[in-house]
Chains A and B, each alone.
Chain A
Amino acid sequence: MPYIPHTGEDVRAMLDRIGATSIDELFDEIPKELRVDSLPGVPVALSEMEVARLVAVRAAADGRPLNFIGAGAYEHHIPAPVWALTTRGEIYSAYTPYQAEASQGTLQIMYEFQSMIAGLTAMDVSNASLYDGASALAEACLMAVRAHRRSNSARILVPTTVNPTWRNVARVITEGQGLVLEELPYCTEQGTTIPQALARYDGQDITALVIQQPNFFGQLEDVDALSRWARANGALIIAAVNPVTLALLAPPGDWGDDGADIACGEAQPFGVPLSSGGPYVGFMATRIAHVRQLPGRIAGRTVDLDGKPGYTLTLQAREQHIRRGKATSNICTNQGLLMTAATIYLSLLGPVGLERVANACVTRTRELVDALSGLPGVRTAFAGPRFHEAVLLLERPVAPVLESLAAGGIIGGHDLSRDYPELGHALLVCATETRTSEDIGAYAQALDRVLGR
């Protein structure tokens, strides 16, 4: 019996102590008509050896093609110590740190993560992570409605240059509480939000403005102009950022005249593998004035009975408390394992290493864009400055091109034509520090062949 240690003797002795004659008798409170005695549809048990073989064959079938997609999940080198440490049993199989004295490891790691996120985003306080970037944006919208004393509209302006799936998720999670997410257009030449498009909202009751930097296209938004408009109109500023870029780009705390109010995003680039889409790790940071509206778990530093420093979960009373008339969150978890990986990653890279990674990403993407846009039938979509992603325009539908590339072991990019049909045959490509000049050359050659047909 896998993982069940009981011998026949154990069972007999235990039933004896209970005063029952069979294990089945222990279920006698359950009405007979509800009982099942088999599970058709569940296959027969496999040994570890058999399941390992089965799964290895499936993994081998998927192989390891060369990846050039970003679009919200980024491939970075993950230093060996990150998962060697994170899969230690004491971290991997630990529970939520409700008994603080028995969880100082987890709690101190949470505190360190919170500190690093606060520092990177130039905000005062951070929580100990949320599920992912998409749900973090949704939570940030709910938080803005709770935190904004003077606004009653619950209207949030969201540029269409914000990740389309994040916008979808934010709507699904917030609409039950009456939030209205209104979309802002972008300039098809520059690939960025048009600050002038905000003018039509001048003087209206807007609770918050979301700004994603870099935006979904990889382009750099004019965060200062957008932030200043929000401030002037009494709207809170929600910054959605890729934290790797914060090694080089101005952090949300420095945007506009006095910075953003809430910073959120996806910290998957910090030591978390692509792993087919999850588990990832969202983050959220804010000003000290709003700390009581911050959802999710927070570790705080305190002292014990002897005055020794220690860590404990704090501000817990807000987590499942229901405030009448104001938006609420039901969230009661964080992504502990991934938060640990991110903390270890950042400790290994440090400020200099992270800067190197960010620089390499920008440089490699530039190299990729030059190589591909040099091919006949390929050009760049947007003129403005970008970070480590770019939109390319083809002269034929993107999906079949990507299929042909995939057949040759290259994952060429993300097809934008479904979410942004106005761009035509648009492809979002990305090259991080993991892509070499040889990789880029191989992609260019393959694309040339595919387009040549």
Chain B
Amino acid sequence: MKAIEPLIFELSRSGRAATAQYPAPTEAKIPEQFRRRARPALPEVSELQVVRHYTRLSQMNFSIDTQFYPLGSCTMKYNPKVCNSLAMLPEFLGRHPLAPVSTGQGFMACMFELQEMLKAVTGMAGVSLTPMAGAQGEFTGVAMIRAYHRARGDTARNEIIVPDAAHGTNPATATMCGMKIREIASLPDGDVDLAALDAVLSPATAGIMLTNPCTLGVFERRIVEVERRVHAAGGLLYYDGANLNAILGKVLPGVMGFDVIHMNLHKTFSTPHGGGGPGSGAVGVGKRLLPYLPVPIVGRDGDRYRWLDERDLPQSIGRLSGFMGNAGVLLRAYVYMRILGAEGMERVAEFSTLNANYLMARLREAGFDAAYPGRRASHEFIITLRRQAHELGVTAMDFAKRLLDYGYHAPTTYFPLLVPECLLIEPTETETREELDGFVDALAAIQREAVADAAMVKAAPYTLPVRRLDDVRAAKQLDVAWKPARA
């Protein structure tokens, strides 16, 4: 069977070119021994072929611009167009990162103000914008905690405590920093088990990694007690800011007692997901960890801005990126925060929480089981389809695939691992009530379909460019690069 859209290589014809893009021909003098023997296998196509090909590919995607995307823990809110157009002003796009700061005061003013605003919304004493993704932000947090203990001669502290509900990157990050993981259980109501916490706290504790609201969609009610015990044991608290959208303007992680927080600018601050990136994982720290922030950071002397680097922060953990992080993403976040302002940020938590609680109430009315029915939803909540899987043989993944036919991107299904057959649902604040009602109706319809004809639901989707894909074959018969046919 033929693919809907061929590969760009399959459209290639020898001698075809988009010549308007070519510079004039010149002959470089490179000695023979350094030269490439055979031309690389890049496609030879016309400019219109390129435009048509990638436009058609884009039309095969779901996106926020086209579909409701209630992906738990991803915060798929509207990406305002103005953030893109201002970040792409030619002066910002054309600036080399190593150009003298005298030629970048406008850009740096935006970065400085972004640092200040992020400090304000998190209640932290310092911010570094350099980590290029959430995972790098996590790495930064744990690396700073390690540096802090080392600087105090406390070299025995090499354990990081992680709740069992944590995202997979948390333990992976701890391992990358040479730390051991101590996992603790959550209680049935979703809070951390304090007794389990006490059992693992010791002189080897470097810190604890927590998300609040946690990955189960509920607020950690005993956070004050957790903070007290961990600090008393000599450990530090790291906050995974993936769920910051739920508490923006309502609670400050700094006030909750966290020593370091990473923020996902591509979640809470609405920068684009771009099919997988770029993200930005800015970190905020309390006073204890200020000296260890990764560089460079924007500093201000009077009305002039400059880069603070290793000379200004000699105990910094160092650099994480080739330059200063994902500047273009940071500009987008800056514009977004300026448009929201203080009142706008408070409304983010209010309306994302309103939407989540409304959706949870309507889904429960429609007969679905909430994983934590006794709790308020934060900005997200979990529906478990365990009963449907058991009684009908229809899994959460099957519901997810069938939702695609109804024009909704499925919620998160593979996470958290603690709740079997779950849908982690996060509507965000930018969706209308009608959109949420439509989603409830679709899930209810699929439930009826699952009862009447489980096999049909299990073979969904039907209306997309492809039907369900064979991922076992993809891994066993690995085909990850097109190869030119041998002549």
A–B interface present (Cβ within 8 A): yes
How many angstroms from the CA of A25 to the CA of B483 in the assembled complex? 60
Binary contact track A152-165/B, C-beta < 8 Å → 1, others 0 = 00000000000101
| Interface: A291 (CB within 8 A) | yes
Instruction: Specify which chain B residues have a CB less than 8 angstroms from the CB of A118 in the assembled complex.
Output: 481
Chain A, range 253-280, C-beta contacts under 8 Å to B? 254, 266, 273-280
| Interface: A185 (CB within 8 A) | no
Instruction: Specify which chain A residues have a CB less than 8 angstroms from the CB of B335 in the assembled complex.
Output: 51, 55
Question: Are A28 and B376 in contact, CB atoms less than 8 angstroms apart?
Answer: yes
Residue on B with the closest CB to A399?
B100
Q: Output the residue of B47, B96, B256 with the most chain A CB within 10 A.
A: B96
Question: Are B275 and A340 in contact, CB atoms less than 8 angstroms apart?
Answer: yes
Question: Are B249 and A99 in contact, CB atoms less than 8 angstroms apart?
Answer: no
Question: Are A171 and B318 in contact, CB atoms less than 8 angstroms apart?
Answer: yes
Instruction: Specify which chain B residues have a CB less than 8 angstroms from the CB of A304 in the assembled complex.
Output: 466-470
| Interface: A307 (CB within 8 A) | yes
Distance of A174 from chain B, by nearest CB (Å): 9
Question: Are A279 and B37 in contact, CB atoms less than 8 angstroms apart?
Answer: no
How many angstroms from the CA of A309 to the CA of B465 in the assembled complex? 10
Chain A, range 63-105, C-beta contacts under 8 Å to B? 63-65, 67, 69, 71-73, 75, 77, 79, 81, 83, 85, 87-105
Size band of the interface chain B makes with A: 35 or more
Question: Are B91 and A60 in contact, CB atoms less than 8 angstroms apart?
Answer: yes
Instruction: Specify which chain B residues have a CB less than 8 angstroms from the CB of A396 in the assembled complex.
Output: none
Question: Are A36 and B110 in contact, CB atoms less than 8 angstroms apart?
Answer: no
Instruction: Specify which chain B residues have a CB less than 8 angstroms from the CB of A248 in the assembled complex.
Output: 28, 30, 35-36
| Interface: A368 (CB within 8 A) | no
Instruction: Specify which chain B residues have a CB less than 8 angstroms from the CB of A339 in the assembled complex.
Output: 275-277
Residue on B with the closest CB to A301?
B479
Question: Are A385 and B30 in contact, CB atoms less than 8 angstroms apart?
Answer: yes
How many angstroms from the CA of A43 to the CA of B277 in the assembled complex? 29
Question: Are A96 and B273 in contact, CB atoms less than 8 angstroms apart?
Answer: yes
| Interface: A150 (CB within 8 A) | no
| Interface: A134 (CB within 8 A) | yes
| Interface: A48 (CB within 8 A) | yes
Binary contact track A293-312/B, C-beta < 8 Å → 1, others 0 = 00001111111111111111
Chain A, range 15-70, C-beta contacts under 8 Å to B? 15, 17-20, 23, 26-31, 33-36, 38-48, 51-52, 54-65, 67, 69
Chain B, range 220-245, C-beta contacts under 8 Å to A? 221, 223-224
Question: Are B97 and A277 in contact, CB atoms less than 8 angstroms apart?
Answer: yes
Task: From the candidates A28, A120, A297, A407, name the one contacting B40 in the complex (CB within 8 A).
Answer: A120
Q: What count of chain A residues pass the 8 Å CB interface test?
A: 198
Residue on B with the closest CB to A305?
B467
How many angstroms from the CA of A90 to the CA of B66 in the assembled complex? 7
| Interface: B146 (CB within 8 A) | yes
How many angstroms from the CA of A337 to the CA of B9 in the assembled complex? 21
* Sample (24) of A-B pairs whose CB atoms are under 8 Å apart: A2-B80, A26-B353, A39-B120, A56-B86, A62-B104, A90-B66, A94-B273, A95-B275, A101-B464, A101-B468, A102-B404, A105-B60, A111-B482, A169-B319, A176-B176, A277-B321, A279-B278, A300-B479, A301-B480, A332-B169, A337-B275, A339-B275, A353-B21, A359-B27
Beyond A172-B318, A279-B280, A308-B3, 18 additional pairs, beta carbon < 8 A: A4-B429, A43-B342, A52-B82, A79-B18, A79-B21, A94-B275, A96-B276, A100-B466, A106-B275, A173-B320, A247-B40, A248-B35, A251-B40, A277-B324, A279-B328, A339-B275, A343-B8, A353-B22
